[in-house]
Amino acid sequence: MHLTELPYRTLAIVRGTNRDAALRTVLVLAEEGITAAEVSLTTPDALWVIEQARRELGPHATLGAGTVLTGEDAARAADAGASFLVTPGLGDDLRRTTSELPLLIGALTPSEVIAAKENGALAVKLFPASLGGPGYLKALRDPFPGVPFVPVGGVDAALALTYLAAGAVAVGVGSPLVGDAASGGDLNALRARAAGWRTALTEEIAA
């Protein structure tokens, strides 16, 4: 999984209240070119969503599980077809996990960044990024210039551009892109948001 090669440098975060709507959301985003997605395990029947999406999108799709809290979560997500795991933080149970899937480990403080890297993080999920904003990411990159950061939390298109300019390898985006689609919201509105996101991020990447 190459974070710098994600389409539009974007990881979509799909979290909702309806499993069928969540599945449709993943598939519509893929149709619209936002092909990297994590399905939060807080979504009802999230593992089923991952299984069905994997079946529809094929073995090479960038499809992961989010809100992974335990080693058991990690194992079940891998069995469902997840190709990467995203955590909001790093507890002792996750430290002991033997999962071989790439990990995006949540961290906020410098000590948490060090712990994430010591535990094999492919990248550090800067969470909640909204607490410090792009300026905090820039400050973290001074002592950690080689750490790939993926800001998550309150990232809209304008902030995504600022985070990328500050050195993020990608951004994780939930409601500003997904809206209420994963809870049964309008899929045409989702397509419109995806089109706007593509336009904004394409201009930045081409600059």
Cα of 145 vs its chain's centroid, Å = 21
Alpha carbon distance 170, 106 (integer Å): 14
Coil/strand/helix, residue 176: helix
The string over 158-194, giving b where at least 16 C-beta atoms fall within 10 Å of a residue's C-beta and e elsewhere, is ebbbbbbebbbbbbbbbebbbbebbeebebeebeebb
Do 6 and 164 meet the contact criterion of CB atoms below 8 Å apart? no
Active site residues: 38, 125
Give, as one character, the DSSP assignment of residue 183.
G
Backbone angles phi, psi at 124, to 5 degrees: -100, 120
Cα of 135 vs its chain's centroid, Å = 21
> Token pair for residue 78?
């891998």
